[in-house]
Amino acid sequence: MSWLMLVLYCRLWLVQYLITARLIIHSVLLGSRVNFEGLHMDSAAQNFQPRTFSIKLWPPSESTRLMLVERMTKNLSTESIFSRKYGLLGKEEAHENAKRIEQLCFVAADEDFKKEPDGDGSSAVQLYARETSKMMLEVLKKGPRVTAESEVPVADTPLVPGDTVLDISGGKRAFIEADEAKELLSPLTKPGNSYKRICFSNRSFGVDAANVAGSILESVKNQLTEVDISDFVAGRPEDEALDVLRIFSKALEGCVLRYLNISDNALGEKGVRAFSELLKSQDNLEELYVMNDGISEDAAKALSELIPSTEKLKVLHFHNNMTGDEGAVYVAEMVKRSPNLESFRCSATRIGSDGGVALSEALGTCTHLKKLDLRDNLFGVDAGIALSKTLPKLPDLVELYLSDLNLENKGTLAIVNALKLSAPQLEVLELAGNEINAKAAPGIAECLTAMQSLKKLTLAENELKDAGAVIIAKSLEDGHTNLKELDVSTNMFQRAGARCFARAVANKPGFVQLNINGNFISDEGIDEVKDILKAGKNSLDVLGSLDENEPEGEPDDGDEDDGDEDAKDDNVEDGLDSKLQNVQVEQDDEP
């Protein structure tokens, strides 16, 4: 594990501990159930006989839940190691995320408590705190909305202009009631309207507003093909939110949709089943988005059971859920039934080795896959090897996102060896945060040499050091005329690695950004990098920020001799130059 990830996980543990402690204290003091039957005096013995005294820690009071939201809001919007790396969230965005996280985790913990109603609730409290801290870390790593990748996707096809689209999602998130719903949706009531696509995201519907919307939607559902009802019950109590989901589900039952987005609704299993009527009637879906929805094992099972057919699915996105290994099995079943899948995203879903293997094997049926995003899971080496056996079955793959999967050298090498022979057309490859070191560099270099269509390469947060950095940089120097972005930040390399990466991109036409931040490059090395870039065809503007570079830092290598840094760096490059002469792209036929 890299030093940065170690810091992140230590911080995660601390946040979890503090939240648990605060939650228990507030639960007791601010309204959780306390049962004190009192003391009974035996008049004969003149003795006190205590009766039972018990404390119920679950459910927390409303004031406790509000306290937790405010505490998370403060933590998410305060300057920290995370904000320096990923960007600082504004208070409004932090508060929105805090409310969403609390609702998702409350639902999960409440379901856990119902399995042991006679318990004191301590396990539910721990689950509540643990899941809350995990989701906070995910939000912090994602960074603010303005700099992060959009987590609520739109259809691959551009929106059709004119009156075929009704989109009420603009402006700040707002609660709407019946009168406003009637006004906002009035275009759908006009005779002869041609609306086919609706987007109600970012507006929170109460029951009265949902009843108004439901009757209007029923009148036009036969013409609708695309429905976005993501994030449309935010801030509502669970019972009311479920009623709203049922109203919309009933209203839209039977419409023939190609696109459905139900993300950001804190669904859980109850929410998924509240959509039963709508989901059961869909057998023509081409795009389905179920992100940030608290999809646990039971919720994934419900989703897999309810949708009658996924044969036409081209896009399936499950980002940022609580699916885990058990839930991954049900997601894998959906994937197996989706032979036409072109874009599959199952990132940040807490899937481990067993689930990763199941998912990797299921993807073998998706021979038309173009985009595959499995980032931020706990796959490990075995799941990486399973995935390497599937990759040769995906000849159309263009974008592959495999960061933060704990692949290590063995899993990474299995994957790049498969890609070397089967995916020369790959345009995007992300392998950040996988504990890759210099021993894997020759194998990665061979793979990269074969990928002449590459536009973006991310190897950040690994442990390449100079030895691995030089090998990989040399493999990118010739060809790769389409390369636009290269991120090798936080890899413990020094002056030699930095110089080689600068040379690799200095003359590539259209190159946009080189990220070498977070390494141990001396001031002289930075000057050399800038000189190399200025002397090339690209301007110095392609060099990213260096605010986290540590000029005085050194890799923890016990076998490096002390001595002049220039000579040491030159020796690294010269020695590796000779090693590279033996690095060749193997041309063995695929088995």
Residue 460 pLDDT level (bands cut at 50, 70, 90): very high
Query: What three-state secondary structure class fits 366?
Result: coil
pTM of the model: 0.75
Can you say whether residue 31 is alpha, beta or left, with left for phi > 0 and alpha for psi between -120 and 50 degrees?
left
pLDDT of residue 20: 53
Beta strands in 1-65 (DSSP E): 34-36, 39-42, 47-50, 53-55
CA-to-CA dists, residue 143 to 77, 138, 146, 150, angstroms: 10, 9, 8, 11
pLDDT of residue 15: 52
Residue 582 pLDDT level (bands cut at 50, 70, 90): very low
pLDDT of residue 104: 76
Least confident of 139-143, 313-317, 425-429, 534-538: 139-143
Question: Using one digit for the tens of pLDDT, what is the confidence trace for 240-264?
Answer: 999 999 999 999 999 999 999 999 9
pLDDT of residue 46: 44
Residue 43 pLDDT level (bands cut at 50, 70, 90): very low
Taking residues 195-203, report their average pLDDT.
94
Q: Looking at the predicted structure, is the pLDDT value of residue 76 above 90?
A: no
**Angle of helix 62-76 relative to helix 122-142, nearest 10 degrees?**
30
Question: Using one digit for the tens of pLDDT, what is the confidence trace for 511-535?
Answer: 999 999 999 999 999 999 999 999 9
CB atoms within 10 A of CB 140: 25
pLDDT of residue 56: 66
Instruction: Using alpha carbons only, give the angle 392, 394, 398 rounded to the nearest 5 degrees.
Output: 115
Residue 90 pLDDT level (bands cut at 50, 70, 90): confident
Q: Looking at the predicted structure, is the pLDDT value of residue 79 above 90?
A: no
**Rg of the chain over CA atoms, in angstroms?**
27
pLDDT of residue 34: 36
Question: What's the rounded Cα separation, in Å, for the pair 214 and 208?
Answer: 10
Question: What's the rounded Cα separation, in Å, for the pair 492 and 233?
Answer: 46
Q: What is the percent of the chain with per-residue pLDDT over 90, rounded to a whole number?
A: 62
Look at 132 and 490; give whichever has higher pLDDT. Answer: 490
Q: Looking at the predicted structure, is the pLDDT value of residue 27 above 60?
A: no
Residue 589 pLDDT level (bands cut at 50, 70, 90): very low
Q: Looking at the predicted structure, is the pLDDT value of residue 229 above 80?
A: yes
pLDDT of residue 219: 94
Question: Using one digit for the tens of pLDDT, what is the confidence trace for 46-58?
Answer: 444 444 445 567 7
Q: Looking at the predicted structure, is the pLDDT value of residue 153 above 80?
A: no
pLDDT of residue 39: 34
The continuous run of DSSP H or E covering 344 comes out as: strand 343-345
Look at 371 and 157; give whichever has higher pLDDT. Answer: 371
Question: What's the rounded Cα separation, in Å, for the pair 450 and 420?
Answer: 6
Question: Using one digit for the tens of pLDDT, what is the confidence trace for 347-403?
Answer: 999 999 999 999 999 999 999 999 999 999 999 999 999 999 999 999 999 999 999
pLDDT of residue 455: 97
Would you state the structure tokens that stand for residue 249, as one six-digit string?
A: 């589900």
Q: How many CA atoms lie within 13 A of 303 on its CB side?
A: 32
